[in-house]
Amino acid sequence: MDIAPNTPLIDRLGRTHTSLRVSVTDRCNIRCFYCMPLENVRFKPRDELLTFEEMTRVVRVAARHGINKLRLTGGEPLVRSNLSQLIRMLKQVPGIAEIALTTNGILLPDQAADLKSAGLDRLNVSLDALSEAMFERITRRQGVQKVLAGIAAAQAAGFDNVRLNAVAIQNLTEGEIVPLANFARENDLHLRFIEFMPLDADRAWDKSQVLSGRQLREIIARDVAPLNEVKRDDQSQPAVDYQYADGVQRVGFISSVTQPFCGTCNRLRITAEGQLRNCLFGTEEWDARRIVRNAGTDADLSELLHSCVQAKKPSHGMDSPEFVPPERAMYQIGG
């Protein structure tokens, strides 16, 4: 297959891919039960992870095919040393318009200023509970105060529109919803709730644990303030946003389980060891590391990107009786 350098990454359903999630590590400093196992985590050996140069090369080729937005993730991206250096390298790639990062926030007090000066554009901080007891139940570690200090450090460093991501779990985190919403409104944070997806390493997910976007919206409209849906400018955004009727902030709902948005998906992923994926729930991977470590050419990478996109399925198929969760858990893919 000969692919011209600027051929866009359009799949068989006409979805144009412009966003790439880059996992920089599978390691993490906490142990959220919906993502990692509590013990005996098997991390990839360091030499299997892509180097910053290797990641930048893959991104450079992807950008020639229309990727313009990057999100750095993991594992916990801030445990990868010198992450700011990677951001500086990626900022130089022609065509990359925005670099965002998703973090659990624990290391932000030390790193926020550095990330800002490296050119990071946007920050999402994940926080599911404000009570230390619930935070510890979820993450199997202590850390709320560090995350709160991290959010404050990010805002002090000049990050505007920091987003707060909260996974909501039925029969567990109901008591956190209203405090999180109020906290976000008081601190100028755009809160988004995410439905619990079957990507936990323990494979204990059950549909009965999903607190749906709709349920969350009803609780917030009843107990915080009435909500008005915001018209979506960008259809590929997974969150449906609502404006509080009193004008103070917005809140969003990412209903990946109950209202999948696969039809407008524009994302690709690359794992920390350089495997391209076209879906969180995909079972197939395309090996970019083999190419970059074996004297492969940019044309080989172009071909790999296009093969990955061409094989994308119409939807994640979670509702089908044949659905099997991917072998890898969230921290191994890059959320």
Query: Which of the listed partners (ligand SF4, ligand SAM, none) does 31 bind, with a CB threshold of 5 to 8 Å by partner kind?
Result: ligand SF4
Closest contact distance (angstroms) between CB of 150 and ligand SF4 is: 12
* Contact set with ligand SAM (CB under 6 A): 28, 34-35, 73-74, 76, 102-104, 126, 165, 167, 194, 196-197, 199-200, 330-331, 335
CA 119/CA 318 separation, integer angstroms: 37
Phi and psi angles of residue 279, each rounded to the nearest 5 degrees, phi first: -160, 145
Q: Closer CB to ligand SF4, residue 36 or residue 67?
A: 36
If one asks whether residue 105 binds ligand SF4 (CB under 6 A), the answer comes out as no
Q: Is 332 an interacting residue with respect to ligand SF4 (CB under 6 A)?
A: no
User: Which tokens hold the place of 54?
Assistant: 């290797």
Quote the least distance from Cβ 264 to ligand SAM, whole Å. 19
Instruction: Please report how close the Cβ of residue 84 comes to ligand SAM at its closest, in angstroms.
Output: 17
Single out the residue of 167, 171, 238, 239 nearest to residue 197, CA to CA: 167
Q: Based on CB atoms, which residue is closest to ligand SAM, 3 or 149?
A: 149
Q: Tell whether residue 304 is a contact of ligand SF4 (CB under 6 A).
A: no
Using CB under 6 A as the binding rule, whether residue 194 contacts ligand SF4 is answered as no
Min dist. Cβ of residue 273 to ligand SAM (A): 16
Quick note: the x/- pattern for ligand SF4 over 207-246, rule CB under 6 A, is ----------------------------------------
Among ligand SAM, ligand SF4, none, residue 194 binds (CB under 5-8 Å by kind) = ligand SAM
- The SS3 call for residue 330 is helix
Looking at the chain, the number of H-run helices and the number of E-run strands are 10, 12
d(CA 251, CA 306): 35
| DSSP states of 122-174 | EEEEE---SSHHHHHHHHSS--HHHHHHHHHHHHHTT--S-EEEEEEBTTTSH
Site for ligand SF4 in 20-39 (CB under 6 A): 28, 30-32, 35-36
Alpha helix (H) residue ranges in the chain:
52-64, 83-91, 108-118, 132-139, 144-156, 174-186, 213-223, 288-293, 298-310, 330-333
Nearest to 143 by CA among 30, 23, 37: 30
Cα distances (Å, whole numbers) of residue 290 to 48, 64, 102, 151, 202: 11, 20, 27, 38, 29
Q: Which of 9, 57, 75, 173 binds ligand SF4 (CB under 6 A)?
A: 75
Cβ proximity to ligand SF4, 32 vs 70, nearer residue: 32
User: Which does residue 271 bind out of ligand SF4, ligand SAM, none, counting CB within 5 to 8 angstroms by kind?
Assistant: none
| Shortest distance, position 209 Cβ to ligand SF4, whole Å | 15
Position 123, amino acid: L
Q: Is 331 in the site for ligand SF4 (CB under 6 A)?
A: yes
Q: Which residues bind ligand SF4 (CB under 6 A)?
A: 28, 30-32, 35-36, 74-76, 104, 330-331
